[in-house]
Amino acid sequence: MGFLTALRSFFRWIADRIALPLYHGWLWLRNRALLLVPCRFPILMVAVGGAAMIIVPQGQDLLRGMAERNVTAQLFFFTLCGVLWPFQVWYWSRIMLLIEFPNLVFDIRNARHALLIRTAAPRIIGFLAAISIAMAFLRASFSYGPGWGQERCRLLCYALAFTVWSVVFLLFVVYRRSMSRAIHRYVLSVRRLQGPVASGLANLFAVPSSGELPYNTMHLRRFPLKMLIMAGFFPLLAVVLFLLFVFCLLETAPVIGATAIMLLALSGWTAMGSVFDIAALRLRFPVITFVIVLAFLFSMCNDNHAVFTLSRDRDAPRTRVTVQQAIEAWYKRQVKHHSPNDKFPMFLVSAEGGGIRAAFWTASVLARIQDSNPCFADQLFAISGVSGGSLGSAVFLAQLADDRDSTGGFRCDEYGRPSENRKFITTQAQNILGEDFLAPVMGAMLYPDLVQRFLPCNINRFDRGRALERAWERAWKLHAGTDRFSSQFELLWAGRTDVWMPSLFLNSTWVETGKRIIISNLDVAPDVFSDAEDINDFYSDRSLSLSSAVHLSARFTYISPAGSLVKNKKIYGRAVDGGYFENSGDTTLLEILRSLDKLDSLAQVIVPVVIHITNEPVDPEYGVIHIGTEEKDKKTTPNRCLNEFLSPPITLLNTRNARGIYAMDAVKSYVAEMNIRHRHYVKRSFFRFGLCKNRMSIPLGWVLSSSARRRMNEQLESNPCGEYQNRDNLREIDNLLRRRYNRALAQ
């Protein structure tokens, strides 16, 4: 009995000293949390905005890019939006806590606590919005290592400025009533300010005290006009931005900048979401849930992401030759002024995906080789690109096509000697790909394309995918002066037949089957390209523009949507980024090599040389990481949280790179074995260009800073780490190309 009595006493002590205080604490916290229900949307937007800037890598890239590019207009708009956003969430939080919601039952028996929540909560929410920007800049500065002093210092200055602004904002919203009433008293006390105008001005500063505005008591009809006008500013601004981004997106979005557009969208969503919340709370009807369900139902009939097509140009080639026929045509050009027994290096290029980083790096490598040796374009047979690598490859080939159609030139003459009228293309290619492609996509995605999700019919003009294509076309037109990117894809190979144009293979992925979709000027025959779909067979009576063809290979959702394959007003499937299948482009290149190998007589004299342009920066501190080794890169660190839930999607994302590495190794082995078998004695037959992190990961998005471009150029002209020997690669390729020129001189 004594033991049971002691046990009961122990449990009673636990209940009185621990369980009961915890229960009362939970009730206290729940009752005060319920008081915040009306302003849940401003709280949600602050959480989303803070997470997007502080945690999400793309948000950090946006802030770093803004600091590195240092564009005055974009910095001005971001600063303006960073100042206005805290006011927006603070003001709408105040309104939501003032409005009377009779259908909701709140425990406000203690009016003092309710008044404290009504007064303090909006101030804290606004302060968190302001300080989250400062924290985002501070975290972005930590990602820089040695050699990035200027950019890191600029980010730290931004972080300090927004920290100061956060404090100023908090002081203003706390003491604004005292300041307003002091101004009101001063205006009334000065005699020379008396009059109707002065009285109206004084009334603006006649704000009531906090105690005169109780929690959850003000009817909508009794709201002051000036409060309604101030509350309607951001919804009106959202409508203006929507119209701007519909009718003049390319002219306005790059000026405002992607980061400012994101803050403007958050401000607009705060206002519009709060308006929906007012209706939901007063009518006791789930308005927001209803809108989401409506968007789900409308998604069955409002797809506006159809791949953009053109009517076929009469000057475009109607028939396409096979890969083997193209190899034979290439060889005939080589032997035209040389002995048939000569051996000729045939260059094949594969370009990995990786957003604007991949595009800039691919175009820079190819243009640098071309500028050093104008014969390179004549020796280059084909390029296989994925995603950003496809964009860089297309820019390079478009430059070759523009030169072919112009009076000037930078190619070799018929004997393999460089033309005296040389044209250098590296600077032009880098200027084209140095434009801001992200801001138009963000503007379209967060405004017209978002509105499209809630419309029952599709409006193609609202497509954010088409906005990216138009941004590429505008950049090409701005720096090259032609309409090459908006013209038909096949026109790259139209015109003069006496100038060789390398072939292009753009790799995409079919959503419904997981197969490759290939866009090319050559016939994608099933006996050459195993289990691949030819986009030209699908669009038999239409044609893709060059920008649309590139985008079909570079649709990495969610920034860029899956492209709907529409014919006769019916959707037959959807295409996404080629990196979903494999991210190197080497699977397609391997099949081209096998086609050459089957032409035994030509394989005896054609020496295949592969240039692989990899676009995933490696950390020079780590080599190849294997299971069980002591070294660990952060990418190989096992996930500790939600392992069962997160392992499948993480695996699917990482296998795209693993398959690319596997395909690259297969190409490297095959081309080496092929050259040995046919007795082609070359020093190297596989060249790999790549980037090293050097303590700073170059962004993956659709905008590059000038400093990031400068460091990529520095790595191209050096051996940045043990993994890549870019400078040595350029020297050896140059020597390989000069053999043909030396033979021409000997004749």
What is the full DSSP assignment across 4-48?
A: HHHHHHHHHHHIIIIIHHHHHHHHHHHHHHHTTGGGHHHHHHHHH
Q: What is each CA distance from 675 to 345, 597, 605, 670, in whole angstroms?
A: 11, 10, 10, 9
Instruction: Compute the distance between CA of residue 681 and CA of residue 672 in angstroms, rounded to an integer.
Output: 10
pLDDT-based confidence at residue 625 (cuts at 50, 70, 90): very low
* Angle ∠(546,552,556) on CA atoms, nearest 5: 130
CB half-sphere exposure, 215, CA atoms < 13 A: 26
Class of domain 309-623+657-746: alpha beta
How large is the average pLDDT for residues 309-330?
A: 84
Note whether 53 and 132 are within 8 A (CB): yes
Average pLDDT of every residue of the chain: 83
Residue 613 has pLDDT above 90, yes or no: yes
Helix residue ranges per DSSP H, 284-420: 287-298, 323-335, 355-372, 376-379, 388-405
680: phi then psi, degrees, rounded to nearest 5: -95, 105
From 5-14, 409-418, 520-529, the region with the lowest mean pLDDT:
409-418
Question: How far is residue 64's CA from residue 143's CA, in Å, rounded to a whole number?
Answer: 9
Report the chain's C-alpha Rg in angstroms: 32
CB under 8 A, 24+ apart: contacts of 10-16: none
Q: Where are the domains positioned within the chain?
A: 28-224, 309-623+657-746
Confidence of residue 404 (pLDDT cuts 50, 70, 90): confident
pLDDT digits (tens, 9 = 90+) for 646-701: 777 777 777 777 888 889 999 999 999 998 888 887 788 899 999 887 645 565 66
Based on the number of CB atoms within 10 Å of its own CB, is 161 exposed (0-12), middle (13-18) or buried (19 or more)?
middle
Conformation bin of residue 252: beta by default, left when phi > 0, alpha when psi is -120 to 50: alpha
pTM here?
0.87
- Residue 609's beta-bridge partner residues? 347
Q: Which residue has the higher pLDDT, 145 or 654?
A: 654
Angstrom distance (rounded) from CA 265 to CA 673: 56
User: What H or E segment, with its residue span, contains residue 265?
Assistant: helix 258-283
pLDDT digits (tens, 9 = 90+) for 169-188: 999 988 887 777 777 676 66
Q: Could you give the CA distance from residue 45 to residue 265 in angstroms, rounded to a whole number? A: 10
Residue 642 burial (10 A CB sphere; 0-12, 13-18, 19+):
exposed
What CA–CA distance (Å, rounded) separates 184 from 202? 5
Higher pLDDT, 260 or 619: 260
Confidence at 630, pLDDT banded by 50, 70, 90: very low
Q: Which of 44, 474, 78 is nearest to 261 (CA)?
A: 78
Span 13-18, mean pLDDT? Answer: 76
Encoded tokens for 116: 């404290």
| Mean local confidence (pLDDT), 214-243 | 78
Q: Measured between alpha carbons, how far is 464 from 532 in angstroms, rounded to an integer?
A: 27
User: pLDDT tens-digit profile of 27-75?
Assistant: 777 777 778 888 888 999 999 999 989 988 778 878 887 887 777 888 9
User: Residue 704: is its pLDDT beyond 70?
Assistant: yes
pLDDT digits (tens, 9 = 90+) for 586-610: 999 999 999 999 988 888 889 999 9
**Average pLDDT of the residues in 235-248:** 91
CA pair distance 103, 106, nearest whole angstrom: 10
State whether the Cα torsion 305-306-311-317 is positive or negative: positive
